[in-house]
């Protein structure tokens, strides 16, 4: 994009975990284009692999959709927090598990048409059980599944959370 096409940004809302901006830019033909964009610090999603090979999903009540979803543990990065440290923290907070081994899996954008959130996916192994440290309002329980059960859940549409669906399909395709 040339220098004269630098977008202008107007902050519309500052929330606890994100900012909404109106971004306006001039198109090559001289017209202007505006879009509201959610600015997000990024997040992580973790595939916790138990000693027996099961995957520890969570059942998580989501206020936005008013239902409980099957998901992988995940969470938002704190300011300047390396994604791998966010993954360790969120795994412990949501499942109670601490991991001795954690490896990057993939990275992706959640919904780049309106959101700049970059998701960092990890695989956690060598897990040690402990007590979760849920945040206020979180209603989460562990739900370990075998790979066969996971395949059935994916095939039947029981997993509707996009970050979990994408990460699990990637994990099953490239890590099995």
Domains in the chain, number: 2
pTM recorded for the entire structure? 0.91
Number of other CB atoms surrounding residue 54 within 10 Å: 16
Percent of the chain with pLDDT over 70: 98
Cβ(70)–Cβ(159) under 8 Å? yes
Q: Do 156 and 115 share a structural domain? A: yes
Q: What is the mean pLDDT of residues 141-165?
A: 97
Q: Do 72 and 19 share a structural domain? A: no
pLDDT tens per residue, range 45-97: 999 999 999 999 999 999 999 999 999 999 999 989 999 999 999 999 999 99
Q: Do 61 and 19 share a structural domain? A: no
32 confidence band (pLDDT: 50, 70, 90): very high
Q: What is the mean pLDDT of residues 133-144?
A: 90
The per-residue pLDDT of the chain, averaged, comes to 94
Q: Do 57 and 29 share a structural domain? A: no
Per-residue model confidence (pLDDT) at position 1: 46
Lowest mean pLDDT among 28-32, 67-71, 81-85, 109-113: 28-32
Q: Do 8 and 51 share a structural domain? A: no
Type and span of the H or E element at 153: helix 147-156
Q: What is the mean pLDDT of residues 150-175?
A: 97
Q: Give the strand pairing for 43-48 and 118-128.
A: parallel
CATH of the domain at 126: 3.90.79.10
Domain span at residue 111 reads 43-174
Q: Do 83 and 111 share a structural domain? A: yes
């Amino acid at each position: 994009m040339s220098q004269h096409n630098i977008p202008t940004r107007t902050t519309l809302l500052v929330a606890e975990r994100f900012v909404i901006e109106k971004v306006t830019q001039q198109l090559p033909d001289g017209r202007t284009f505006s879009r509201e964009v959610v600015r997000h610090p990024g997040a992580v999603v973790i595939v916790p692999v138990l000693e027996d090979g099961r995957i520890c999903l969570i059942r998580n009540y989501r206020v936005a959709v008013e239902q409980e979803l099957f998901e992988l543990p995940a969470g938002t990065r704190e300011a300047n927090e390396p994604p791998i440290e966010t993954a360790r923290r969120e795994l412990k907070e949501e499942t109670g598990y601490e991991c001795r081994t954690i490896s990057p899996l993939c990275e992706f954008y959640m919904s780049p048409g309106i959101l700049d959130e970059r998701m960092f996916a990890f695989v956690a192994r060598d897990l040690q059980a402990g007590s979760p440290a849920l945040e206020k309002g979180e209603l989460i329980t562990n739900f370990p599944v075998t790979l066969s059960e996971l395949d059935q859940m994916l095939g039947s549409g029981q997993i509707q959370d996009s970050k979990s669906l994408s990460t699990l399909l990637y994990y099953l395709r490239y890590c099995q």
